[in-house]
Amino acid sequence: MSAVILAADDIQVAQNIGFGIIAAIMVIGALKVVTSKNVVHAALSLVLVLSGAAAQYILLGAEFVAVSQILVYVGAVMVLFLFGVMLTRAKLGKETDLDQPKAWLGVPVALLMLGVLAWVLIDGFQDERLPADATSKAAVEISDSVLGPALVPFLALTFVLVAAVIGGIVLARKD
Amino acid sequence: MLALDPLLLGDLDLGDVLVVLLKVVVVFVIGLVATMLMVWFERKTISGMQNRIGPNKAGPWGLLQTLADGTKLFFKEDLIPERSDRFVFKLAPYLSFVPAFLVWAVIPLGGDFTGDKQGIVTWFGRETRVQLADPQMGVLLLLALSSIAVYGIMLAGWASGSKYPLLGSVRASAQMVSYEAALGMSIGAVLLLAGTLSTSGIVDSQDGITNWHLVSTGVLPFVIFLIAATAELNRPPFDLVEAEQELVGGFNTEYSSIRFALFFLAEFMNTITMSAVIVTLFFGGPQPLTIDIGGLQWDGDLYLGPLNGTIWFFLKLLVFLYVYVWFRATLPRLRYDQLMNLGWKLLIPASLAWFMLLAAFKLGQDQGWNRVVVGAVGLTVIGVGVALLSAAIKVSARNREREGAMF
């Protein structure tokens, strides 16, 4: 049955197979993040998940978003994260005190997030489909919309970053 | 036309795939051979500067010395320390080697950029570029790859399970993260003037020496980029990562055999690709150097037909390879606090100020504002910013002095 669906005319077989493989890698990586007994291994699994997201963007023809994902999350956020881990507690081998007794609380939170994101995507795009020959948007178009109609949410995001920077300074400095 | 497209969308035939495969093989071979010659070039040039002879036994002028060293490394015993994290220890060399190779993909290695040709050449009846792929966000890909390269060094030090490599890798990641900001911001000035993120587009916009933007990007952004790139490469005078006197061998102390060879290869290949990036961003890549002074005219044609652009590219590349070797032979290593001060308190603010000034001029041009007024206002704002920054630095320095050293 599924083979029949895949062979239908308007469905791109290669892209679907690619999506499946990458999605499977991402799910396994995500499970590894929470089950790993070593902080650095968990961080590396997270890198795998984030890179998988970038690969999915490439499949959608969104090169710019994919490279930004790599640049920001893999290249900056996770590097800083690993750097922090290394400065403080980078033990080799298994660690025993990583499991939280209240870890099950994460399950409803994760399900809630899944519900919210799925609802936003389904409600936002309805039946809209990406054209099969979609080429990637030029960076100019993206910057025009970020600094045009989407300016307010963009500025709100930058405020979050400024708050994080100020928080970092407050934590790090005594003067 | 298809081989232009990095995503290979649309209808493919076998020929297009073969052209892409041919380019992959050529770039791979060029990368390896160039790295081999670079190691020889560096050893030979440094020995010349230090009044020695350098490698001269293997092959003519010692050209095959690198090959001999590589073969030797292949046959050495591959040691993995007992207390290491085996998986990450094995993974790390590839994490630093693969990004070094991938950078080659977006660098225009040749092609004809005269007139409206935009570097497009025809191979086997198919239009393509002398460049493995030409994605729209080529420059961002360069930055992303240089930030991925941090992982290799960082994880190598951590997975070794001993102190010196860990210290080396902590230094490396702090240094590379710090200088990436200055690197990105000096590229910003180039992108602002070129108006595109694609590497071939940037080369195309630098048609001839008058379009190299010598004043706006050739002085300040170029110098900042050169310094930040040297730091990003962990080359002298910024080689605190593997400071032999302090850290034995730095992050790769525990590595031997083929894994060490991969780190070594990645380091030298990064030097070449970074020089290639400099040539691409600031000096017109494969564009010929044209001369037009008074009656003297030369269109940069070396009478090599289709190889003209490639030869120009490699000539420009050689200049920067020599500059890097020259740095190594002459400059003493910086102290760690000097390194951080230079990066955070000088390079990042300077590149930011220059970028804002250029943006102001560009906006003024679009809106038809008076250039002098734009310049005066811009310089005043920069002056206020510099005053505020130096005041803040002074205050924190005084406070630190009063409280005494924290560490």
The residue of chain A with its CA nearest to that of B144 is A71
Residue of A67, A70, A136, A169 to mutate for B, most B C-beta atoms under 10 A: A67
User: What is the pLDDT at residue A20?
Assistant: 92
In chain B, where the domains are located: 6-13+79-350
Percent residues over pLDDT 70 in chain A: 83
A44, A82, A139 member nearest B197 (Cβ): A139
Tokens at B284, concatenated: 């017109």
Residue A6 pLDDT class (50, 70, 90 cuts): very low
Rounded CA separation B278/B233 (Å): 13
ipTM (interface pTM): 0.80
B81 touches chain A (CB under 8 A): no
Which of A61, A67, A83 is nearest residue B173 as measured by Cβ atoms?
A83
Does position B3 have pLDDT exceeding 50, yes or no? no
Comparison of pLDDT for B177 and B319, the residue scoring more: B319
What is chain A's mean pLDDT, rounded? 81
Q: Is the pLDDT of residue A1 over 60?
A: no
Mutate to test the interface with B, among A12, A86, A142 (most CBs of B within 10 A): A86
Cβ of residue B137 closer than 8 Å to a chain A Cβ: yes
Q: Which amino acid is it at B95? A: L
User: Closest residue of A to B184, CA-based?
Assistant: A71
| Range 182-201 of B in CB contact (< 8 A) with A | 197
Residues of B in contact with A64 (CB under 8 A): 136-137, 140
Helices (H), A36-150: 39-59, 63-69, 78-88, 106-125, 139-146
Backbone phi, psi, residue B354, to 5°: -65, -40
Kindly indicate the confidence band of residue B8, based on its pLDDT and cuts at 50, 70 and 90.
low
Write down the pLDDT at residue B406.
58
The pTM assigned to this predicted structure is: 0.85
Q: Residues B42, B328: contact at Cβ < 8 Å?
A: yes
CB–CB of B137 and A76 under 8 A? no
A2-6, A112-116, A151-155, B53-57: lowest mean pLDDT where?
A2-6
8 A C-beta contact, residue B41 and residue B49: no
Residue A58 or residue B388, greater confidence: B388
Q: Quote the minimal CA–CA distance from A124 to chain B in Å.
A: 27
- Whether pLDDT at B109 is above 90: no
pLDDT(B18) > 50: yes
Specify whether the CB–CB gap between B96 and B262 falls below 8 A: yes
Tell me, rounded to whole angstroms, the distance of Cα B51 from its chain centroid: 29
Contact list, A87 vs chain B (CB under 8 Å): 170
Using the predicted structure, report yes or no on whether residue A162 has a pLDDT greater than 80: yes
Buried b / exposed e along A105-141 (16+ C-beta atoms within 10 A): eeeeeeeeeeeeeeeeeeeeeeeeeeeeeeebebbee
- Residue given tokens 């050739």 in the structure block: B218
Of A50, A40, A23, the C-alpha closest to A89 is A40
The H or E element containing residue B120 is strand B120-123
Q: What is the mean pLDDT of residues B105-122?
A: 74
- Whether the CB-CB separation of A33 and A78 falls below 8 Å is answered with no
CATH code of the region A8-94+103-172: 1.20.120.1200
pLDDT tens string A17-63: 888 999 999 999 999 988 888 888 888 999 999 999 999 988 877 88
Q: Is A63 within 8 Å of B135 when comparing Cβ atoms?
A: yes
* pLDDT exceeds cutoff 60 at B222: yes
Q: Indicate the range of A137-141, B97-101, B221-225, B284-288 predicted with least confidence.
A: A137-141
Tell me: pLDDT of B43 over 70.
yes
Higher pLDDT residue, A102 or A89?
A: A102
CA distance A84 to A90: 9
The span from the CA of A143 to the CA of A150, in Å, is 10
Cβ-based contacts under 8 A for chains A and B:
95
B221, pLDDT greater than 80:
yes
Q: Do A86 and B174 touch (CB under 8 A)?
A: no
Question: Which residue is associated with the tokens 């060029």?
Answer: B30
**A135 and B9: CB-CB below 8 Å?**
yes
B positions 247-276 inside 8 Å of A (CB):
none
A92 and B177 within 8 Å at the Cβ level: the answer is: no
Chain A residue whose CA is closest to B89: A92
Phi/psi for B249 (5° steps) reads -130, 5
Q: How confident is the model at residue B2 (pLDDT cuts 50, 70, 90)?
A: very low
What value does the mean pLDDT take over residues B205-234?
81
Query: What is the secondary structure of A3-64 as a DSSP string?
Result: HHHHHSTTS-HHHHHHHHHHHHHHHHHHHHHHH-SSHHHHHHHHHHHHHHHHHHHHHTT-HH
CB contact under 8 A, A90 and B137: no
Amino acid at B329: A
- Rounded Cα–Cα distance for residues B254 and B245 (Å): 16
Q: Is the pLDDT of residue B138 over 90?
A: no
Return the pLDDT at A2.
45
> Per-residue pLDDT tens for B299-311?
767 677 777 788 8
**Touching check for B173 and chain A: CB below 8 Å?**
yes
Confidence at residue A5, expressed as pLDDT on a 0 to 100 scale: 47
Residue indicated by tokens 């790390």: B92
Is residue A137 over pLDDT 70? no
pLDDT of residue A167: 86
Nearest 5°: phi and psi at A123?
-70, -35
Mean pLDDT of all residues in B259-276: 90
Q: Do B151 and A47 touch (CB under 8 A)?
A: yes
Contact B333, B234 (CB under 8 A): no
- Asked whether the beta carbons of residue B403 and residue A175 sit closer than 8 angstroms, the reply is yes
Task: Work out the percent of chain B whose per-residue pLDDT is above 70.
Answer: 89
CB of A67 less than 8 A from some CB of B: yes
Lowest mean pLDDT among B64-73, B116-125, B328-337, B370-379: B116-125
* B133 lies within 8 A of chain A by CB: no
A126 CB within 8 Å of a chain B CB: no
- Tell me: the pLDDT tens digits for A140-161? 788 888 888 888 888 888 888 8
- Would you say residue A8 has pLDDT above 70? no
pLDDT of residue A111: 93
Residues of chain B positioned with their CB less than 8 A from the CB of A74: 144, 147-148
